[in-house]
Amino acid sequence: MDFIPNTDADRAEMLRAIGVDSFDELLAAVPEGIRRPELRLPPPLSEMELASEMRSLAEQNVDALHNACFLGAGSYNHYVPAAVSQLLLRSEFYTSYTPYQPEVSQGILQATFEFQSMICALTGMDVTNASMYDGATAVAEAALMAMAATGRCKVVVSGSVHPEYRAVLGTYMQSRGCPVFTTPVSRKGDRIVEEDIAALVDEETACVIVQQPDFFGRVRDLTAIVERVHAAGGLVIVSSDPISLGMLRSPGAWGADIAVGEGQGLGSPMGFGGPYLGLLACREKLIRQMPGRLVGQAFDAKGRRGFVLTLQAREQHIRREKASSNICTSEALVAVGAAIYMALMGPRGLAQVAQLCYEKAHYARSRIAKLPGFRVLDTGPFFNEFVVETSVPPMELNRLLLESGIIGGHDLSSDYPGLDGCALLCVTETNSRPQIDALAEAMGDIAAAKGGAR
């Protein structure tokens, strides 16, 4: 099925009007030897056949709608209200382009302005942009911002920031000739310990990047590190899960200069990793270094209020090689989805989702702590993720849990060699008490069958 409405008769008429005898005449500049190549592709499908084919591919996947999911680690199974999906199907939104003509794009522009406003409230920051690609690239671009703002070259990042975020930071930094220092994370008995990040801060430090809750789910007092970095003249970047901000003290309240994060939890499905939503918010003083689009309020000649892309002189289409970033297309529609989610939830709903995640995760941890064959690591205060040492290797445990319709936690071995045999479990508002009890029972049975405690 193609979507080409013109017929042979239409084309014949058009070719006549153009003044050529055949389509090939229009390809005169294309080298003859390689013109009109064969394309070896599967044969075309009618819509009915295509729908069937896509369904059969989808059905080969074990999904979280039909199985209990306890995976987090940067992608979260939160409930998406029906109104979000329905509103995102309004094709005036999803089939539109970047709003360069504001008079016919007030829908996207205002929705984005509202998104920006609500993220500012959530993060406690002065200004937010219209989105980055994801949490990882938001961290990377925040580091570049800090380097531009301070004129300094050294980046310090906590080892308890998501491993993939640190990897992306490394990729973005590779052409800069500037060092990235990472605090080592290791295991000491029942605790996960991180070397003191303040020790790495000096007068060369452009920024320190921390995550809250961190990759292991921990929540800590950031006062000391913020003070240390500011005293040295650097900037503090805090990466947060926005759902946790329904409960936790905001990056702004901690004194952060830039708040970044992954907005997927605000109304988007896990979607096998994308498309996601990078959040980037900062203090007013950093606005000129901020990458990405910004929507601002404006007025027409009749005094009517509207919205428009603004401060475009930062961006690639104006500044070209001097732009603060090369970003053009970002995640506009995903941001609109987040705005709709936050509008539906409101302050009470977001606080409630966070509270449910918190309580259920703590209940799950306390049940698992009582199981022979498992040891929960002591990480201090945590939000909705925690680390469990498993007597059965995590990969094997997860394989067996799948047989009971349970998607188990994230194996930490490859990212943290000191945490070999440990899994990161996540609980959200979508996990019922019976699901959590079933997880604990299944884990207990599996450990018992394999011959027990460590």
191: β partners: 188, 378
Give min distance, CB of 70 to another protein, in A.
10
Give min distance, CB of 225 to another protein, in A.
14
Closer CB to another protein, residue 20 or residue 231?
20
Report the C-alpha gap between 355 and 269 in whole angstroms.
20
Report the C-alpha gap between 382 and 388 in whole angstroms.
13
425 is a contact residue toward another protein (CB under 8 A): no
Structure tokens at 417: 């060699």
Piece in contact with another protein (CB under 8 A), picked from 68-76, 187-195, 224-232, 442-450: 68-76
200 is a contact residue toward another protein (CB under 8 A): no
Give min distance, CB of 201 to another protein, in A.
22
DSSP code for 40 = -
358 is a contact residue toward another protein (CB under 8 A): yes
83 is a contact residue toward another protein (CB under 8 A): yes
Give min distance, CB of 371 to another protein, in A.
16
Residue with tokens 């007092």: 221
Give min distance, CB of 285 to another protein, in A.
13
Residues 6+ apart with CB under 8 A from 413: 394, 419, 420, 421, 422
Among 142, 145, 238, 436, binds another protein (CB under 8 A): 436
52 is a contact residue toward another protein (CB under 8 A): no
Strand (E) or helix (H) holding 50: helix 47-58
Total residues contacting another protein (rule CB under 8 A)?
205
Piece in contact with another protein (CB under 8 A), picked from 188-196, 227-235, 245-253, 441-449: 245-253
Residues 6+ apart with CB under 8 A from 133: 276, 278, 327, 330, 331
DSSP code for 378 = B
Residues 6+ apart with CB under 8 A from 104: none
Report the C-alpha gap between 213 and 321 in whole angstroms.
36
Residue with tokens 């070896």: 40
Piece in contact with another protein (CB under 8 A), picked from 62-70, 188-196, 235-243, 440-448: 62-70
Among 245, 368, 406, 440, binds another protein (CB under 8 A): 245
Position 444, amino acid: G
Piece in contact with another protein (CB under 8 A), picked from 105-113, 146-154, 196-204, 440-448: 105-113
417 is a contact residue toward another protein (CB under 8 A): no
Piece in contact with another protein (CB under 8 A), picked from 1-9, 152-160, 203-211, 444-452: 1-9
105 is a contact residue toward another protein (CB under 8 A): yes
Piece in contact with another protein (CB under 8 A), picked from 25-33, 179-187, 193-201, 224-232: 25-33
146 is a contact residue toward another protein (CB under 8 A): no
Report the C-alpha gap between 231 and 208 in whole angstroms.
12
Binding letters toward another protein, positions 247-276, x by CB under 8 A:
xxxx--x--------x------xxxxxxxx
287: β partners: none
131 is a contact residue toward another protein (CB under 8 A): yes
Closer CB to another protein, residue 258 or residue 332?
332
Residues 6+ apart with CB under 8 A from 196: 183
Span 273-292, contacts to another protein by CB under 8 A: 273-276, 287
203 is a contact residue toward another protein (CB under 8 A): no
189 is a contact residue toward another protein (CB under 8 A): no
Among 8, 21, 57, 188, binds another protein (CB under 8 A): 57
Widest pairwise Cα distance in the chain: 83
59 is a contact residue toward another protein (CB under 8 A): yes
164 is a contact residue toward another protein (CB under 8 A): yes
160 is a contact residue toward another protein (CB under 8 A): no
Note whether 388 and 422 are within 8 A (CB).
yes
Report the C-alpha gap between 63 and 65 in whole angstroms.
5
Minimal CA–CA distance to 338: which of 282, 386, 286, 278?
Answer: 278
Position 34, amino acid: I
- Whole-angstrom distance between the N-terminal and C-terminal Cα of the chain? 59
Closer CB to another protein, residue 11 or residue 453?
11
Among 149, 155, 279, 342, binds another protein (CB under 8 A): 342
Among 148, 198, 351, 438, binds another protein (CB under 8 A): 351
Report the C-alpha gap between 166 and 162 in whole angstroms.
6
- 71 — phi, psi (to 5°)? -100, 140
Strand (E) or helix (H) holding 259: strand 258-262
356 is a contact residue toward another protein (CB under 8 A): yes
